Amino acid sequence: MVVSSKYDVIIIGSGLGALVSAAILSKEGMKVLVLEKGKKIGGLLHTFKRDQTVFNTGMNYIGSLKEGGFLYQYFKYLNIHHDLDLKRMDMEAFEEISFSGDPNTYHYAQGKQGFIDGLCKAFPQEKSNVINYVNGIWKLTKKFPLLYLDDYDKIKKGDDYLSGSAFGFIEEKTNHQKLKMVLGATNSLYGGQKNKTPLYVHALVNRQFIESAHRFVGGSQQLADALHNKILEAGGKVLNRSNVVKISTQDLQNTWVEIEEGEKYYGKKVISNIHPAQTLQMVDDDRLKAVYRKRIINLPNTIGFFNVYLVFKPQRFPYLNRNYYHFAGDEVWSLNQKGYQWPGYFMFYTSCSSHQQQWAENASLMTYLQYDEVKKWEGSIKGNRGADYESFKQEKANLVLQLLEQKFPGINEKIQSYYVSTPLTYEHYIGAPQGAAYGIEKDYNNPYKTLILPKTKIPNLFFTGQNLNMHGALGVTIGAVLTCAEILGYKYLLEKIKMEVM
């Protein structure tokens, strides 16, 4: 058995939360090791190629990165804000929403006033309700920890940002049924459920993109690469193909993790970016009580997605600088529930390969898919799941492409080839249990039950990533800051960030 040198912090996984945590701790002088089981780092920041075109795995656009934005301030502290090649999405419509049988399209515009003005054009009689909705979102997000660095110390523990339902909030703001649907139409960005999704999830996701919405030119892998470079520059180390199978936390002076090949890495602290339930399976420590383990393991996860990755014939379909949400009917909140007529809706976007792009090289088409539909192939080997699995994917793809044709007549004849992924694909590549798109499902009815704190009962074991407060680039970055604050000191780290960016 090989024994390595000792680190201050060992981080398991290399998703955004892991890389931000590693970049912060390395920047602050700690000796950091990141261990990734796959051949590529980045988690849902991965990109991959099909027919020589680049596809994003899970992050097709990013919010709040204009100068002075919520996420910009953290990226500036990490000194990666100049390393990202970004293209601003359409100011008047970064999201376009449509419904079968309705000739109108509805738009989300960037900027608070732009968003209000855009919806008021479509719903002129609802101006006061639209304003009340937007003001409510702004008021709620102001309570979210660490969104505002200039007054972070005024946020009180236990503040009421966790209370309230996203669906209920929209219901209270207007009686106009179409406006309600439009305001809730992008809930697939967080796996929205009318009887569970907290208001703060809806509010934070929407506000960050309203503030500013950008595409990654050339793909989202650049964000992982930028963070990776900062980690290396600060003396940190990142190892891929290093699958952690055991974590020992009993000895505070000799904490270690063991990878599949048998090598042990010693450190003072361990941060896990992988799912908490998977983490606990590797830890044998009686300080983690049975009731805690049971609660974490039994927490429900968000739904997964069925994706069709389209490659277009050259110069046949235009590059579109916005996202499209199209619904087969008038329901936007129950499409991830069992028994609903599938597919029900899709999200569609063309990838960005250059700033002056005229034609789309490819596009991604996605909709929900229950894991139960692919469970019969659970545990099978990727690429060797059999003809029935391939037939299943083909049948599903045909249905989604039919709905796509309704929105964009003639598009199917412009497709050169396409590739399909299911929740099994995400489970294989990303390690997400059952292909869960957004980690643990949040529930406003019992918010603290589904909230994972960065600090555990074991003083040298911490969590980070999308399973904490919030998923998405902004939520995960803030979660990583909170994790690092538990190690470096809350006041010290926040003052340091504030000093460098203000």
Predicted pLDDT at 152: 60
Residue 421 domain boundaries: 303-437
Q: Count of CB atoms within 10 A of residue 315's CB? A: 11
Whether residues 348 and 407 share a domain: the answer is yes
Whether residues 79 and 226 share a domain: the answer is yes
Q: Which two tokens stand for residue 308?
A: 């069709």
Where among 213, 242, 262 does a domain terminate? 213
Mean pLDDT over the full length of the chain: 93
CA 258: distance to chain centroid? 28
pTM score, two decimals?
0.95
Q: Which two tokens stand for residue 49?
A: 């190629």
Beta-bridge partners for 214: 62, 88
Closest CA to 481 of 71, 154, 173: 71
Minimum mean pLDDT among 9-13, 253-257, 434-438: which range? 253-257
Residue position matching structure tokens 């009580």: 289
Q: Which residue has the higher pLDDT, 289 or 135?
A: 135
Whether residues 124 and 79 share a domain: the answer is no
Residues of the chain with pLDDT > 90, as a percent, come to 82
How does residue 469 score in pLDDT terms, banded at 50, 70 and 90?
Answer: confident
Whether residues 231 and 333 share a domain: the answer is no
Where among 176, 197, 213 does a domain terminate? 213
Q: Is residue 206 situated within a structural domain?
A: yes
Q: Count structural domains, the chain.
A: 3
Whether residues 227 and 281 share a domain: the answer is yes
Predicted pLDDT at 304: 95
Q: Is residue 375 situated within a structural domain?
A: yes
Predicted pLDDT at 5: 66
Q: Is residue 52 situated within a structural domain?
A: no
Q: Is residue 463 situated within a structural domain?
A: yes
Summarised one tens digit per residue, pLDDT across range 325-362 is 999 999 999 888 888 889 999 999 999 999 999 999 99
Average pLDDT over every residue of 97-110:
97
Q: Is residue 103 situated within a structural domain?
A: no
Average pLDDT over every residue of 467-482:
92
Whether residues 227 and 347 share a domain: the answer is no
Q: Which residue has the higher pLDDT, 295 or 409?
A: 409
Q: Is residue 58 situated within a structural domain?
A: no
CA distance 135 to 129: 10
Predicted pLDDT at 149: 78
Predicted pLDDT at 337: 86
Where among 149, 181, 213 does a domain terminate? 213
Find all residues with CB under 8 Å of 29, minimum gap 6, and list them.
none
Closest CA to 284 of 303, 256, 253: 256
Whether residues 322 and 293 share a domain: the answer is no
Q: Is residue 68 situated within a structural domain?
A: yes
For residue 431, what are the CA distances in angstroms to 132, 187, 331, 351, 464?
A: 40, 23, 31, 24, 15
Whether residues 331 and 429 share a domain: the answer is yes
Q: Could you tell me the sign of the dihedral formed by the alpha carbons of 75, 80, 82, 85, in that order?
A: negative
Q: Which residue has the higher pLDDT, 150 or 302?
A: 302
Whether residues 375 and 413 share a domain: the answer is yes
Looking up residue 30, the CATH number of its domain turns out to be 3.50.50.60
CA distance 317 to 339: 34
Average pLDDT over every residue of 14-42:
96
Whether residues 272 and 370 share a domain: the answer is no
Summarised one tens digit per residue, pLDDT across range 395-440 is 999 999 999 999 999 999 999 999 999 999 999 888 888 999 999 9
Predicted pLDDT at 1: 46
Full DSSP string of 297-310 = HHPPBPPEEEEEEE
The separation between the first and the last C-alpha atoms of the chain, rounded to the nearest angstrom, is 49
Predicted pLDDT at 238: 97
Whether residues 135 and 283 share a domain: the answer is no
Q: Is residue 56 situated within a structural domain?
A: no
Q: What DSSP designation does 286 have? A: T
Whether residues 194 and 227 share a domain: the answer is no
